[in-house]
Amino acid sequence: MARQVKRAYRYRFYPTDKQAAELSRTFGCVRLVYNRALQERTRAWYGEQRRISYAESSAMLTEWKRTGELAFLTEVSSVPLQQALRHLQTAFANFFAKRAQYPRFKSRKKSRASAEYTRSAFTWRDGRLTLAKMSEPLDIRWSRPLPEGAEPTTVTVSRDSAGRWFVSMLCEDTVAPAPATTNAVGIDAGLTSLVTLSTGEKVTNPRHERRDRARLARAQRELSRKQPGSNNRAKARRKVARVHARIADRRRDHLHQLTTRLVRENQTVVIEDLTVRNLLKNGRLARAISDASWTELRSMLEYKCAWYGRDLVVIDRWFPSSKLCGACGTVREKLPLNVRTWTCEHCGTTHDRDTNAARNILAAGLAATACGDGVRPQRETSRTGQQSVKQEPQRATAGLPRL
């Protein structure tokens, strides 16, 4: 059965000089309002142990506009400013629910320049989008059509560090489920191969950052030689940003193609619950792990499986997928990362490390689905009573099907 989902459609556009100036001014006001509200909330919490609600923040914004110092806030649309306060409210809600860290101030140089407009702040007529405080529609490059009959409910305008302008339109879309299939696949994320599937297929890691590393290093050297604050330094900075944007775009495109294929071909997709943040603490592998973008891979699989009626099973990070023999179920005591092929001492079966891990992940996921529960082997406990931090425990969960 088809389902209604909210889907964002992102396009590049080319503003006029007047529109660019208006949007830049809006970005600055949004950042200022967010930081001011965060400052007031922080002062009230640490100074008075009092929480400030969204309604109180909105009243503060009204008072700020009446002062001579911040009267320029009335020159831009009020909707993006109110949306900034709502985003701050959401950030604090996530913090108090222990889902995120304490909100941070937005930096002019490092934070994303964006503004969000709701229905009351833009006009959508005959496929042309006109924002508040503007007399002309945006010059959008329609790389793909919007859903038939759909109208945007929210519009987000942004500018990246390379100076490119984008508009993202949130629309109601009807997504039909993918044709039913009985296929299931286990996925082992890696660095030598981006992913290894339980079918034995290995998807090559494109290593987009490494391919452009020489170009990036050259652009960064040129940037370091420019005088701070000069126009030439600004040009050099944009050149570095364009290289980074090229890498990110190619990486995202490859992940979209890969995840779409996996979701279309399989009814059940099984992955590991990797703690990428902890893995990045390894100084020797951090750069390669960031280039592989495992977090984005999982995020794409999550929403695509939800859209197209597929089952995504996530097994516990402590499951010994690499060290577990898929033939007899014996768990090897140690398996260094440089060992890519190993032979089971119990049954004599020779395993490819990644393929064996993918098959074990699939078996664990199917077992968890059959039992209606997740897979969570127990971590070892040291003599001091503290839990060990090993990635893969010595004993596997009983009852898992053998491959």
Active-site residue list: 188, 272, 354
> CA-CA distance, 354 to 197, in Å (whole number)?
8
Rounded to whole angstroms, the Cα distance separating 258 from 216 reads 26
For residue 214, what are the CA distances in angstroms to 4, 210, 220? 45, 8, 10
In which order are the strands placed within the sheet that holds 193-197?
202-204, 193-197, 184-189, 268-272, 311-315
What beta strand segments (E) does 138-245 contain?
140-141, 154-159, 165-175, 184-189, 193-197, 202-204
Please give the Cα distance from 390 to 403 (Å, whole number): 25
Identify whether the C-beta of residue 167 lies closer than 8 Å to the C-beta of residue 160.
no
The residue count of the chain comes to 403
| Rounded distance between C-alpha atoms, residue 156 and residue 167, angstroms | 6
State how far the Cα of 49 lies from the Cα of 344, in Å rounded to an integer: 60
